[in-house]
Structure 1
């Protein structure tokens, strides 16, 4: 329907019938255009056959609407019946699945899945079954945008049905746009997000009863995971990470202030430098690029007035910035290969 169709319908009402030649003259168009308009009005049920000279005649829009709606409503009712049948069938089979899952959890307490596809399938099932709380611990810096897109709908569904969601990242994730965008969306729906210095491993716990613990990664292929349902083990994992959560910094994704956590990162780097760890190991522990880590180290050494990472560790110990007994040397000692 466009303005030409409305004008043609108006003229057909006044003429009492739709005659292509007369409509074309009144609209100052050719008969081909008048025929096109007639086809549209006929499809919309605003013109019906039976007029004088075999021409179509206009009818009330209420009549046209009733005729068009009847077919659509019949289709909607058919879909509702199909949906009801699907729900009936799934409802009949659900107790079988629930019985299997309960027996599975009671039998071993731990299931190991080697394939990432199997892990994703089990994660999807766990998020659908989750009723109370989901606790996610994610090490490293910013997360992959594709991964965040995949989990967004899953997490949103949990939040919308009232599941409490806690997400723990490392401080370096604050600087990642994709992660910040995801965190903003989740917090708007009610999730709690915090960040901390160091996270040892990825972990997801549902309802304090099911934990997903990843296997060691080999190459670039996504790792498998162990699904833990033993109450003692899951409870232990939950308590450890709940303490980590308690000491973490609340994260407001709309707040661009980064000074406080940046200083906390510097302190963590300094403590790890004092242990004698290599640059890439420190960077990996804190979830940042090695180049970024080295920039922090350079700033720390400049602040301490030293020229090497070993001197930085010794100076920090002497100043009480790290524990005196930390690392391979103590206050007053030099690092390997340095003069006393």
Structure 2
């Protein structure tokens, strides 16, 4: 067959049903049917074999995963449910928190970072707090000092009465909620749309220890913040000075203390004016000279190398 006669039917060449005549390349000759069949079936056989291999691999993976699940259930004896559970989405988090609230009988410990607590933030958990109060559950809350200036928090504490005890620090750890020292909730991402529910006894006990140590350092909300002992420098400016001495940028300091960057810079400007500094470098030197490059010592704490400290030089409570 002349090659040009096969051009309207290209599949004859694509499937090698015809092939060029060795004696004249302008002509095509038919391929033996047995050779065509063997080649076509080989391709199909290879595809089927590869599909079988993939299916087998998937089955093995699923069986291994199923076995791992059985091992995890067997190894979780002694604890109820999964030791660490990821809660994805605000509704899932709220549901888990409501379950923990219903099961709680004794105590709730919370750490609430950030600045002034907004009304809607306080109202979100108010129903749980009232439920706990009505069952006689005691609550202890840790906030930053900035939260003292929010009327919403004061109203909330007045509503809860003696069921809640609140203390404040210059800065606290990220959000933490502990129920009966058996289950804890912590954020799992920056925007707090995911959380971890922790039930492993060692993890929960560790978080309780962290809370208790912060609680001992904190100042009761009903107690005024201590004076810095340096005229013209407020408690917050002392905290900012200590963080500046550590080399932190304005945005980091603002986040850690629960204030806006603008407010932070206003405090830094007043600090510079009070200490007579005209540059950041000079401010760092003046902060060190004034002894503001670290947190104030607890009253009665010993100075380095001076057992018992020096009478009349005791600092205010650490915060």
TM-score interval w.r.t. the shorter chain? 0.5 to 0.7
CA drift at 1:190: 2.3
Equivalent residues of 1:156, 1:189 under 8 A apart: no
Q: Is the 8 A contact 2:111 2:173 kept in 1?
A: no
Name 1:198's counterpart in structure 2: 171
Is 1:244 aligned with 2:217? Answer: no
Q: Please give the secondary structure, in 1, of the residue aligned with 2:163.
A: coil
**TM-score normalised by the chain length of structure 1:** 0.59
Q: Tell which structure's C-alpha radius of gyration is larger.
A: 2
Structure 2 alignment gaps of length 5 or more: 1-75, 295-319
Query: How far is the alpha carbon of 1:290 from its aligned partner?
Result: 1.2
After the TM superposition, which of the residue ranges 125-134 and 175-184 deviates more from structure 2?
175-184
Q: 191, 198, 208: which is aligned to 1:228?
A: 198
Q: Deviations over 1:169-211 (max 9, x none)?
A: 100011112122212222x142101111111200000111100
Q: Residues 119 and 260 from structure 1, CA distance in 2 versus in 1: closer, same or farther, beyond 3 angstroms?
A: farther
- Pick closer, same or farther for the CA change 1:103–1:264 going to 2, 3 Å: farther
CA deviation string 1:226-283 (max 9, x = no partner): 000000010001101110011101013xx8x667599332221001111221111100
Distance apart, 1:289 and its partner CA: 1.1
Is residue 108 of structure 2 the alignment partner of residue 134 of structure 1?
Answer: yes
- Are the equivalent residues in 2 in contact too, given 1:139–1:287 (CA < 8 A)? yes
Higher strand share: 2
Residue 157 of structure 1 aligns to a residue in which SS? helix
CA 1:115/1:121 → structure 2, altered by over 3 Å: closer, same or farther? same
Contact 1:213–1:226 (Cα < 8 Å) also in 2: yes
**Pairing partner for 2:283 from 309, 312, 321:** 312
Structure 2 match to 1:275: 246
Deviation at 1:109, TM superposition (A): 1.0
Q: Counterparts of 1:165 and 1:313 in 2: how far apart (Å)?
A: 41
Computed over aligned residues only, the root mean square deviation of the Cα atoms, in angstroms, reads 2.2
Give the equivalent residue in structure 1 for 2:155: 181
Give the number of equivalent residue pairs. Answer: 215
Query: Closer, same or farther in 2 for the Cα pair 1:236/1:122, shift >3 Å?
Result: same
For 2:290 and 2:239, how far apart are their aligned partners in 1?
A: 16
Deviations 1:151-179 (A, max 9, x none): 11210121221111001110001111212
The answer (yes or no) to whether the contact 1:210–1:227 under 8 Å persists in 2 is yes
1:297–1:309 Cα contact (<8 Å) kept: no
Correspondence list, 1:5-24, <5 A = none
Question: Which position in structure 2 is the counterpart of 1:210?
Answer: 183
The structure 2 residue matched to 1:288, chosen from 245, 259, 263, is 259
Partner of 2:41: none
For CA contacts below 8 A with separation 6 or more, give which structure has more relative contact order: 2
Deviation at 1:122, TM superposition (A): 0.5
Unaligned segments of structure 1, at least 5 residues: 1-101, 324-340
Tell whether 2:278 aligns with 1:302: no
Residue 99 of structure 2 corresponds to: 125
Mapped pair 1:113 → 2:87: yes
- SS of residue paired to 2:173: coil
Q: How far 1:321 moved relative to its partner?
A: 2.5
